[in-house]
Amino acid sequence: MSKESCHHCAPSIKNKPAPEPSLRVQFWGSLLCTVPVAWLAMKNHLGHGAIQWGLTSVSLFGFGGPIWKKAWVSVKALKPNMFTLIAVGLLSAYGLSVWLFFHSDASGFMGFYFEGATMLLSMVLLGQVLEAKAGDNTQQALDQLTELIPSKARLVVEGSPDQEIAVEAIQLGNHLRVLPGTQIPVDGRIVDGASAVDESWMTGESQPIEKKVGDFVLAGTLNQLGSFVFVAEKTGTQTLLAHVIDWVAELQAQKVPIQKLVDRISAVFTPLVFVFAAITGLVWWIFGSEPGNPLQAIVPAISVLMVACPCALGLATPIAILVGTARAARSGILFRNLESVQIFEKIDTIVFDKTGTLTQGRPQVVSSQLLDKNLDTRVVWRQVASLERASEHPLASAVLDAAGNQGISQLDAVENFRSFPGLGITGSVGGQTLLIGNPAFLKDQGIATEEVLSRARSLEDQGQTVLWVAIEKRCVFLIGVQDQIRPEAPSMIRAFKHRGLKLLLASGDQPSVTQKIATQLEISEWEGGLLPHQKAETIRRLQSQGRTVCFLGDGINDAPALTQADLGIAMGTGTDIARQSASITLIKGNLSALFNAFELSRLMMRNIRQNLFWAFSYNLVGIPLAAGAFYPIWGLKLTPVFSSMAMTISSLLVVGNSLRLRFQKFRNAE
């Protein structure tokens, strides 16, 4: 269908203005004309024809501008759509009524059809207003996010007073001061001061979060108590808030696969209606009760045109998607492509990453063992922290926090840093080569690990993840890190098991640690010690068994698995590359949103099917009824007036059914 087809009636959310006030004015103007025309039509008096003609002309040609414009575009493009049908139906009913005005007399007067034309226009305009309002609900979610971005920021200039600059002028590395009660302009890390920050737009938590030196702060969050200085690390379109706004905006331009099928059906349906209307008129012309009577042939043909407008069919999918994605955005769920909505309800297997996904992603160092008595513990900690500072792995933060707790604040420069996802990191610190990772990584680098395996295993038996540290080709330090299971994880796991889904835990962590977490969460299948490509292979193996697989992860090493899965879901608190590889992002980083996303996709697809069922059923019954197919049996047929009412009411029912998504509750995750 063309761009002006029914499912494009509501403006796109990207660059979408608020619903035009003129559209509402045109609806009310048309309605004010329709009421007296309908009242006079009930009087069925020939003398009222001039008044009906005048009011209908004002309604159609004074307030029907949006419909005529869209119809004209479809005619120029040679792609007939619902607006083509509406325009032809309006002109046919109007033209027939004008002809009757000049060719009727008191004795043979059967009534006009002016009320059918103006009633159809009023109903169509009402549908347009409701569509625009439904789209505006999604736009409001974007507007609320956009309003979080302040217009000004305070630039810290050494030796001079702070300067007020536009947010657009902020550059990476700028030091910015945030005063109490003001919003943070860009993403960055605190370098001086402390405060409590309201991050409710991102986390969903109403309680402010304590922030200190070294903590990351997000654009759009609200500083509540103290003042602090932070260094800008992500500006403009790179901030998390900007990504959220872009993702929601781009979503509205997409279509689910089921909508593409509807488009193909509608593209064929419109010209077929014209053919069927012509056949209807011809049949009544030849076989009607008064063969050769043009009026007897024209009225049912017009009724077919007016009842067959595929408004409901075109609205069935996009309105449900529009309302559903707005509901999702408010719930912290971002569908980055609409195909994921349709795929999610077909998922029968979910594969979970562990760290930062089922666990809180804020592991803590709970033990450490220096294996070489000749080394200084503080020196080794400083070297390890210096190397980990360049890493994005969740365990790096735990190491840096542990070093900070020991009073190590001055870190060394790192040279030749390299990251091996799923294995470890290397680099040169103070002229010495360091390796930090798992035992397999150290073995690959030719470093002996056998002598310390027993020590490492004792830590792993306690549920700790062990980081092996080698300096100059010798394993000299073990660090035990432990992460806590997210409090909402057990109920979420039970909910999916209750739905009959197959669950699997796939982690790059040690098998013993992975098994312990799987046991605690009652996940029967698990795989530990996996490299990034091995996670993807696990998913590929499940797919080869005919499974439809969803993968939930948050780190760089999860990107291959997120891409391989039928549906990739990223935690919003994870890395950028993980979010870019996923089809859905849980922006609040809350596992409850995963179950809500599953439920919402199910509700959206059920709503779409209900809409399509109603639209197809309506046309299946309405077109033959308007054509007079049931007249010889039961004496039933539709006049253009009732045809126009039936067509528009069907569209309003579809819109109303979709709006229910705003209020439907998710099932309890328990």
Catalytic residue positions, numbered:
353
Relative to beta strand 209-211, strand 175-178 is unpaired
Reported as type and span, the H/E element at residue 316 is: helix 311-330
Percent of the chain that is helix, strand, coil (3-state, to 5)? 55, 15, 30
Rounded Cα–Cα distance for residues 668 and 440 (Å): 43
Which residues make Cβ contacts (< 8 Å) with residue 480, sequence separation at least 6?
365, 366, 367, 368, 369, 459, 462, 464, 465, 466
> What CA dihedral angle connects 247, 251, 256 and 260, to 10 degrees?
-140
How many other CB atoms are there within 10 angstroms of residue 510's CB atom?
20
Helix (H, G, I), strand (E, B) or coil at 85: helix
Give yes or no for a contact between 275 and 305, defined as CB atoms under 8 angstroms apart. Answer: no
Q: In what order do the strands lie in the sheet with 163-166?
A: 163-166, 152-155, 175-178, 228-234, 187-193, 216-217
Relative to beta strand 228-234, strand 187-193 is antiparallel
Q: In whole angstroms, how far apart are CA 370 and each of 379, 389, 455, 482? A: 11, 21, 11, 18
Give yes or no for a contact between 592 and 488, defined as CB atoms under 8 angstroms apart. Answer: yes
Which residues make Cβ contacts (< 8 Å) with residue 76, sequence separation at least 6?
none
Alpha helix segments (H runs only) across 252-310: 257-287, 294-307
- Token code pair at residue 404: 């900070």
> What CA dihedral angle connects 624, 630, 631 and 634, to 10 degrees?
-150
Give yes or no for a contact between 607 and 658, defined as CB atoms under 8 angstroms apart. Answer: yes
Q: In whole angstroms, how far apart are CA 577 and each of 272, 555, 559, 570? A: 48, 8, 7, 10
> What CA dihedral angle connects 397, 398, 400 and 405, to 10 degrees?
140
Give yes or no for a contact between 55 and 36, defined as CB atoms under 8 angstroms apart. Answer: yes
Phi and psi (nearest 5°) for 403?
-65, -40
Phi and psi (nearest 5°) for 153?
-145, 160
Reported as type and span, the H/E element at residue 645 is: helix 640-659
How does 570-586 read in b/e, with b if 16+ C-beta sit within 10 Å? Answer: bbbbbbebbbebbbbbb
Q: First-to-last CA distance in the chain?
A: 44
